[in-house]
Amino acid sequence: MIKTQCVAVSIIGKVLAGASLTSVMQSSWQTNPELTRQQKGAIQDLSYGVLRFYGQLETVLELLLKKPLRNENLHHLLLVGLYQLQYSRASSHTVVNQAVSASRTLENAKGMQGLVNAVLRNFIRHRKTLLEQAKKKEIGHYSHPQWWVDKLRAQYPQNYQAIIEAGNKRPPMTLRVNQRAISVQDYCKLLSDSYMEAELLWHGALTLKQPVPVDKLPGFAKGWVTVQDAGAQLAAPLLDVHDGMRVLDACAAPGGKSTHLLELADISLTILDCDEARLTQVKQNLSRLQMQVEQLVCGDAANPDGWWDGKGYDRILADVPCSASGVVCRHPDIKWLRRERDLLQFVVNQELIINALWKILKRSGKLLYVTCSIFEEENCMQIERFLHNHADASQLPLEEAMFENGQLLPSMRHDGFFYTLLQKT
């Protein structure tokens, strides 16, 4: 466990310095090839857990320390220890001893074992009081940045606390059944035969009661099922594709929505993304599901002149880059890496993309605008501006009852998304 604590400390430090949690973790697996699956699971839990509750843990640590620590590794080790003491099933005695041992391996932490021992044992003795004190600060209470809490409170005065609570949860593992290969009913039976309990949500979305490694899923290698959030599974059905249509999935990587579209109809699909490396993931998903597409293009959705063949599309899925504020339960690093000023750049880029894609949509064609954001600047305000500037655009109603003006708020069952279906008149 000492090794897992040390690797987690390294990961957390790099993320808080500005790196993506996903990329840092992948790099860590390459740097430490000797790690077992169990160790990787423990490291992932520690890293995600500390970042999920960073606001609370950091506030508690400030209360425990007389003055800030100069050694960042030691600081992050204490956050790991506090997370384990508060949220893991490990015994307090074991957590403290392992943290003390781990501190001996940290750079410039010589002679700090006594401090680690004292801080963690002090938390154990005064846990209730410290947690109550931490709650007096909103960042300590909600484990979200203050600007984020303020914005949610202003935009969702009735729901902001539920949104924050959903953002701090462990994400559910939800499956999308490939109904071209197997029926939902038959796949449910396969899960049951494998002693996996699942709940049916909508459009064939199955949420597992207990997450499992993907290679344990029945028929995963055969393409019978894909792991995809239930909220994300709404995109393909909303686009209303039919056999023979020419369809563009812009900003498509890693390809979950693309493959869903191919499951729904026999279409001529162009998959576009500006990141060549992420297109590799799309190719892997297509291969596993035994699917083929018309084109797989690396290009900028905001500049079709660089890749478009001049033929209009019947349907366009515009899943645009955004703040990802609706998926922080899966990517807790986003809360701490994102800055409020970043929203402006996202909004500008989104506007460029949707305006460019609108020009290559056929008349009577439909464009589905999608974000995984819950901030109004990127969503309803963006669409209001677009409709004002495009007389040939009309907004179509979304029949699903779970939407409120296109917004699907994050919940314990799914992430947060915004959907708007536009038709060129």
Tokens 């846990």, residue? 127
pLDDT of residue 322: 97
Give the β-pairing of 361-371 and 313-319.
Answer: parallel
Q: Where in the chain is the domain with CATH 3.40.50.150?
A: 234-424
Mark whether 380 is an active-site residue: no
Q: pLDDT class for 172, splitting at 50, 70, 90? A: very high
Q: Do 272 and 297 touch, CB atoms closer than 8 A? A: yes
Check pLDDT > 90 for residue 346: yes
Check pLDDT > 70 for residue 181: yes
pLDDT of residue 339: 96
Residues 6+ apart with CB under 8 A from 40: 29
pLDDT of residue 401: 62
Q: Where in the chain is the domain with CATH 1.10.940.10?
A: 2-143
DSSP bridge partners of 360: none
For domain 176-227, give the CATH superfamily: Sun protein; domain 3 (3.30.70.1170)
Burial of 93 (0-12, 13-18, 19+ CB in 10 A): exposed
pLDDT of residue 123: 97
Check pLDDT > 90 for residue 218: yes
Preceding omega of 213 cis (within 30 degrees of 0): no
pLDDT of residue 66: 86
Q: pLDDT class for 308, splitting at 50, 70, 90? A: very high
Q: What is the mean pLDDT of residues 66-89?
A: 94
| Span 262-287, pLDDT tens digits | 999 999 999 999 989 889 999 999 99
Q: Which of 164, 280, 275, 291 is nearest to 224 (CA)?
A: 291
Tokens 């035969």, residue? 193
| Span 143-164, pLDDT tens digits | 999 999 999 999 999 999 999 9
pLDDT of residue 155: 97
Q: What is the mean pLDDT of residues 341-353?
A: 97
* Percent residues over pLDDT 90 in the chain: 89
Distance CA 167, CA 182 (A): 33
Q: Where in the chain is the domain with CATH 3.30.70.1170?
A: 176-227
Catalytic residue among 298, 322, 372, 380: 372
Residue range 2-143 in CATH 1.10.940.10: yes
The predicted model scores a pTM of: 0.93
CATH topology for 234-424?
Rossmann fold (3.40.50)
| Span 312-323, pLDDT tens digits | 999 999 999 999
Q: Which of 144, 147, 170, 149 is nearest to 160 (CA)?
A: 149
Residues constituting the chain:
425
